Structure 1
Amino acid sequence: MPAAPSPRPAGPVVPMQGSGDSLSGRMLGEELRRLREQRGYTLADAARVIRASTSKISRLERGQNPVKYRDMNDLAAFYGVSREDRAHLDQLHQQVGNEDLIQRFNDVTPTFLKRLIRLERTAERITVYEPRVVPGLLQTEEYARALVRLIEIYRSDRDIELLVRLRRERQSMLDGDFPVLAALIYERALYQPYGPAEMMATQMRYLRDAAVKGKVSVRILPKHLISLPTPIFHLRFADGEHQELAYVEHANSANYITQRAELDRTRRQLTNIRENVHGRERSVASLEDAISYWEQVAAEEQLG
């Protein structure tokens, strides 16, 4: 596949260090307090906006209570914050969510994945290429469970269920406007059996529905083409000194690519894949073909 020229990368990304959910919560609360006082509003004024008590607003601003995204959104609109301040609020809220997720699953989350979780919700765009499986951010619960059992063969049933919950809860970040997710999937991965045919059919339907609704961009790389053997996870950030990072995941480890030459090479690889994937309609048709295949296999399994 031909390689297209790429823009000059912005430089390395230094992964954000964990600070604990209490610190992130206090930072968000302090910012909300600053914005309120800057505009001359009282605790009572803010309380009326989110239909709460003044004591609740006080606890939110001290970081003692978690701030719901809806409440933060309503307060930001009431305060008439600038675009820059709003982006800062969103980033702080995402960091709180990241730290909470890490804390709840701390004992089963490998260090390399903690670093990714801290970064991915602050990204503007995520591009993932998968040659063997459905990307983790688009997996159904049963499909994720089958993969975790295959990879984490020494884990207890409790740990496996926690890892499955972690995979699923990471997907909640796609409910917002950012990050935007683009999934590039090698067609052969759609036919790789990781469990019963009905489970595979359900996973393909889920992937098809995501592509049709336009929530994410799903593009299929035709199976007759030569595929890169290694998955790639690329994050692009909206601003800051360091604007991108690439991540290559292995079974029990990962490499974070931050050096300019390696980033450039990885970006060219993704460009090559994008130039050869099916368009939206043909990609959806490929998913429909996979659904039909697995439904037929499931029917044959039932007949014995």
Structure 2
Amino acid sequence: MIAKGNEPMGLRANPSQRQRRLGEELRKLREASGLSATEAGSHAGLGRAHMSHIETGRTAIPEDKLCTLLTLYGCTSHPYREALIEMNRATGRGWWADFKQSHSVHARDLAELESAAVAQRQFQWLYMPGLLQSAEYTRALIQSGEDQASAERVDKYIEFRLRRQRVLADGSASYHAVIHETAMHMRFVPREVMRDQLLHLVDVAQLPNVTVQLLPFQATLSAALPGIPFIVFQAVVPELNTVYVEHPVSSSFLTHEAHLAQYTQAFERLASAALPPITLPTERKSYAEQDSFGLIQHLLYAL
């Protein structure tokens, strides 16, 4: 909604990650063109304050004015331009909108990002990745961390997790996870739950768009690799790729090119150090061969 003088009304109190990212991209394009916000806004019929709110994701921009700015900024890449236009058209009213009362904006942002990505590359070392968790593993994990949580809250959390996992089943995007062996030994959940979780992991790994590798304790790694879980989201155009870094206090969505390169390279090194992906053997293997399925068999025996 636009007020007199082309200034915005009804500013968003909590812009979504998608809305903030669109604003960031417009700011980067403007700065690369050498234009000030005042100069660009004047050309598009937008006030300086309105431009500032657009670039922070706090207000929307009409599509015609968006196209005007993209042309002004010299955005000649058709795929990138179309991706930004589609990002602007998105309403954010996907299935995750049904969980507005029970889940944070941050959690819904993650679900929206997962739904839009064409590929995900994830490293996890303490827990099973959310998209690969069985319902009972999720339930036990929540109950061990929030023993006062109501049954309704736990059920809602599990429902949200299972809805997120549909992105794997529909096969529209590829998913590659590297999971450290530590996650299989942590006693956050009962043994029988962990046993079923490992079997669930094998089942999900059979999907044609899913690759799961285990990183054993004896793997040789560089100390320079990230010591926290992360996900590299590949968008329809590389300019919109995103890294999600998990943190117990405040997780982050990173978009700077240097961060994207750092975590992409880190995942490649982790995948190279990990065991070959989980696949069901079609013939008898040599005992000398080591792979992720073999490690799971060993862990199942130990449980």
TM-score by length of 2: 0.62
Paired with 2:253 and 2:121, the residues of 1 have a C-alpha distance of 15
| AA of the residue aligned to 2:273 | N
What does 1:15-94 align with in structure 2 at a 5 Å threshold?
15-17=17-19
Q: Which residue does the alignment assign to 1:127?
A: 121
Q: Verify: 1:221 aligned to 2:215, yes or no.
A: yes
| AA of the residue aligned to 1:229 | G
TM superposition shift of 1:257: 0.9
Q: Which residue does the alignment assign to 1:231?
A: 229
Gap regions ≥5 residues in structure 2: 1-15, 21-78, 280-290
TM superposition shift of 1:152: 4.0
Q: Which residue, 167, 177, 184 being the options, matches 2:178? A: 184
Paired with 2:293 and 2:194, the residues of 1 have a C-alpha distance of 16
Q: Which residue does the alignment assign to 1:63?
A: none
- Most deviating of 107-116 and 119-128: 107-116
TM superposition shift of 1:213: 4.7
Native 8 Å contact 2:94 2:112 kept in 1: no
Paired with 1:284 and 1:212, the residues of 2 have a C-alpha distance of 11
| AA of the residue aligned to 2:178 | L
TM superposition shift of 1:285: 1.2
TM superposition shift of 1:180: 0.8
1:7-36 CA-to-partner distances (Å, cap 9, x unmatched) read xxxxxxx93249xxxxxxxxxxxxxxxxxx
Native 8 Å contact 1:126 1:233 kept in 2: yes
1:123-178 CA-to-partner distances (Å, cap 9, x unmatched) read 11011100111100000011011222234455433212211110111111212232
| AA of the residue aligned to 1:288 | Q
**Gap change, CA 1:253 and 1:154, over 3 Å in 2:** farther
| AA of the residue aligned to 1:144 | T
**Gap change, CA 1:153 and 1:106, over 3 Å in 2:** farther
**Gap change, CA 1:150 and 1:206, over 3 Å in 2:** same
1:255-279 CA-to-partner distances (Å, cap 9, x unmatched) read 1111122222212211210110111
| AA of the residue aligned to 2:181 | E
Q: Verify: 1:149 aligned to 2:157, yes or no.
A: no
Q: Which residue does the alignment assign to 2:53?
A: none
| AA of the residue aligned to 2:243 | A
**Gap change, CA 1:243 and 1:275, over 3 Å in 2:** same
Q: Verify: 1:268 aligned to 2:262, yes or no.
A: no
Q: Which residue does the alignment assign to 1:292?
A: 301
Paired with 1:108 and 1:154, the residues of 2 have a C-alpha distance of 16
TM superposition shift of 1:117: 1.1
Q: Which residue, 139, 143, 153 being the options, matches 1:159? A: 153
TM superposition shift of 1:228: 4.4
| Structure of higher RCO (CA pairs closer than 8 Å, 6+ residues apart) | 1
Native 8 Å contact 1:126 1:235 kept in 2: yes
Find the residue that maps to 1:121 and give its secondary structure.
helix
Q: Which residue, 104, 108, 116 being the options, matches 1:114? A: 108
Name the one with the larger helix percent. Answer: 1
Find the residue that maps to 1:16 and give its secondary structure.
helix
TM-score by length of 1: 0.62
Q: Which residue does the alignment assign to 1:283?
A: 292
Paired with 2:111 and 2:126, the residues of 1 have a C-alpha distance of 22
Native 8 Å contact 1:112 1:253 kept in 2: no
TM superposition shift of 1:224: 2.0
1:219-273 CA-to-partner distances (Å, cap 9, x unmatched) read 111112357431011100123x733100011235311111122222212211210
Gap regions ≥5 residues in structure 1: 1-13, 19-83, 295-304
Q: Which residue, 102, 106, 115 being the options, matches 2:96? A: 102
Native 8 Å contact 1:208 1:288 kept in 2: no
Number of residue pairs aligned between Structure 1 and Structure 2: 208
1:86-145 CA-to-partner distances (Å, cap 9, x unmatched) read x99xx89xx78x734222221221221111111111111011100111100000011011
Native 8 Å contact 1:188 1:223 kept in 2: yes
Q: Percent identity?
A: 23
